[in-house]
Amino acid sequence: SYELTQAPSVSVSPGQTARITCSGDALPKKYAYWYQQKSGQAPVLVIYEDNKRPSGIPERFSGSSSGTMATLTISGAQVEDEADYYCYSTGSTGNHRVFGGGTKLTVL
């Protein structure tokens, strides 16, 4: 079955740039999506179709994709950005969907 791979954790100081990566064989042909999940809350979409930002998401959140890797970048990370971040995409057929294992972002 198709898998997306994420590092378990990333740590930055406030104001620094955080980069969270996601690798998957189908990413050259399929979009990546990114979700933020804070403790005890439902996930929130922060990036869709590789690099688009939904309304209401701060401009410090951006996305990119190159080859088999997608990247979520948080420029000037803030304490309130501490959360688990999940990438999401589809397999090569487009019918089945998968989440990455998640990356815990610590900002302190």
Q: Say how far apart CA 44 and CA 57 lie, in whole Å.
A: 10
Residues 79-98 that bind other proteins (CB under 8 A): 84, 86, 88-90, 94-98
Q: Quote the least distance from Cβ 90 to other proteins, whole Å.
A: 5
From candidates 48, 60, 62, 64, binder to other proteins by CB under 8 A: 48
Per DSSP, the chain holds a count of helices (H) and strands (E) of 0, 10
Span near other proteins by CB under 8 A; candidates 11-19, 34-42, 56-64, 66-74: 34-42
> What are the distances in angstroms from CA 22 to CA 15, 16, 82, 108?
23, 20, 18, 23
Residues whose CB falls within 8 Å of the CB of residue 104, separated by 6 or more in sequence, listed in order: 8, 9, 10, 83, 84
Residues 54-83 touching other proteins, rule: CB under 8 A, are 54
Determine if 30 is a binding residue for other proteins (CB under 8 A): yes
Q: Output the smallest distance, CB 54 to other proteins, in A.
A: 7
1 binding other proteins? (CB under 8 A): yes
CB atoms within 10 A of CB 45: 15
Binding residue count for other proteins, defined by CB under 8 A? 27
38 near other proteins, rule: CB under 8 A? no
